[in-house]
Amino acid sequence: MSGRRRSRPAGTADAAEPPMEATMDYASGEYLEDTSQAAAAELEEFELEDLEGVGRVTAQKLRQAGYYTIKDIAFASAHELAAILGSEERALGIIRAAQRALNMGKLFMTAKEYYEERKRIAYISTGVKALDDLLEGGIETRAITELIGEFGAGKTQLCHQLAVMVQLPPERGGLSARALYIDTEGTFRPERVVSMARYRGLDPERALENIIYARAYNSDHQMLLVDEARKLVEEQNVKLVLVDSLIAHFRAEYPGRENLAARQQKLNKHIMQLARLAAVYDVAVVVTNQVLAAPDVFFGNPLKPAGGNVVAHGCTYRIWLRKGKEGKRIARIIDSPKHAEKETVFTITDEGVVDA
């Protein structure tokens, strides 16, 4: 297997690459026996062509459609792939082959195994002790965390800060990794990163280099960027993907009741894209969301997060930020499968987001 490179965007492949000497028979399940790290590393070297049923032409078509690695195929839906491969049956066969290659052929595991697997989840400190405590460790990889709040609540500030925090070494709450920032409203400010980085003891220039930035101009562009992000995360050591804001373009482009169904369907696709990115590439995804006045609420909180059930169900953790007295900010976790519903206070200063 030595000398082979993992699949990458068309054009980067070495055409003179020798054909693979020995083929591994995925279908036989032989590979399932070997779960060692070395085997996993070896797998990373596989090309799409190494999958049973995938020839050069098919591999090319798959890459053109944005499927670059065996992981991409393993987590695809047959319905999606059928459009490229001609039939769902064929798609399913190839997906199964990819899943077997990734040792996903095993459908069930014990809770103990799942527990061990979850131990590999990593956390990014928010830089605010009270918030980290509320989150029981910080922002989680392999999950989508949603920051909800009205204007000025601090969502964008927290996104900036997380893009800095992820760069810190693990002993200081980071993952020694880079951030990918998708800015839909044009509110990203490198100057703010400079102040925050300096306060956290990072070289500001390097901190800026470690944030990969893209401005999303509309919802289609936003979705395209997430598709492209899949290529970048592993190559560029990205451990945090931020989308600020998740929903602004969707709301602007699909106004009114008559467009609601279409909007929600597309938004759902976008969230699935993000969920897959988080799960497959082991990154933390953080999105921001606005709040709306709910005309039908007469008792209790008259505000609700935008995006309805699609966003509520799609995001793993939801943090509601609101403005308190004397410039303080209050964070509350809502609808969490693992956190108690409690609140904490923090503040925003020239140095960034800090404890109150």
The residues of the shown chain that bind ligand GTP, judged by CB under 6 A, are 149, 151-157, 187, 290, 348-350
Nearer to ligand GTP by C-beta: 187 or 264?
187
- Please, which contacts does 133-139 make with residues 24 or more away whose CB atoms are closer than 8 Å? 133/344, 134/319, 134/331, 134/333, 134/339, 134/342, 134/343, 134/344, 135/317, 135/319, 135/333, 135/339, 136/338, 136/339, 138/173, 139/240, 139/284, 139/286
21/326 with CB nearer ligand GTP: 326
201: alpha, beta or left? (left if phi > 0; alpha if psi -120 to 50): left
For the bound state, the minimum distance from the C-beta of residue 240 to Mg ion, rounded and expressed in Å, comes to 17
Radius of gyration of the chain from its Cα atoms, rounded to whole angstroms: 22
Member of 7, 58, 99, 156 binding Mg ion (CB under 5 A): 156
Q: In sequence order, what are the residues at sequence separation of 6 or more whose Cβ sits closer than 8 angstroms to the Cβ of residue 253? A: 218, 219, 263
In the complex, minimum distance from the CB of residue 245 to ligand GTP, in angstroms, rounded to a whole number: 7
User: Cα–Cα distance between 355 and 349 in angstroms, integer?
Assistant: 10
**299 contacts which partner out of Mg ion, ligand GTP, none, CB within 5 to 8 A by kind?**
none
CB of 296 to Mg ion, least distance (A): 26
Residue 184 touches which of ligand GTP, Mg ion, none (Cβ within 5-8 Å per kind) = none
Minimum CB distance to Mg ion smaller for 99 or for 289: 289
SS3 content of the chain, % helix, strand, coil (to 5): 45, 20, 40
Which residue carries 């400010």 as its tokens? 189
Which partner, ligand GTP, Mg ion, none, binds residue 296 by CB below 5 to 8 Å per kind? none
149 binds, among Mg ion, ligand GTP, none (CB under 5 to 8 A by kind): ligand GTP
| Cα–Cα distance, 218 to 343 (Å, whole number) | 34
**Nearer Cβ to ligand GTP (181/281):** 181
Size of the site for Mg ion (CB under 5 A): 3
- β-bridge mates for residue 183, sequence order: 215, 244
Minimum Å distance from CB 158 to ligand GTP?
7
Closest-CA residue to 210 (of 175, 165, 239, 179): 179
Of 136-155, binders to Mg ion (CB under 5 A) are: 155
Residue (125 or 290) nearer to ligand GTP, CB: 290
CA atoms of 222 and 168, how far apart (whole Å): 27
Minimum CB distance to ligand GTP, residue 307 (Å): 14
Which strand (E) or helix (H) includes residue 133?
helix 129-134
Strands annotated E in the chain:
123-124, 139-140, 144-149, 178-183, 211-215, 238-244, 284-289, 291-293, 303-305, 317-323, 328-334, 343-349, 352-355
Measured from the CB atom, is 153 or 233 closer to ligand GTP? 153
Residue 152 site contact among Mg ion, ligand GTP, none (CB < 5 to 8 Å, cut-off depends on kind): ligand GTP
State the nearest-atom distance from the C-beta of 288 to ligand GTP, in Å: 6
Minimum Å distance from CB 149 to ligand GTP? Answer: 5
Shortest Å, Cβ 321 to ligand GTP:
7
By beta-carbon proximity to Mg ion, the closer residue of 132 and 183 is 183
219 binds Mg ion (CB under 5 A): no
The 177-196 contact track toward Mg ion, x by CB under 5 A, reads: ----------x---------
Residues in contact with Mg ion by CB under 5 A are 155-156, 187
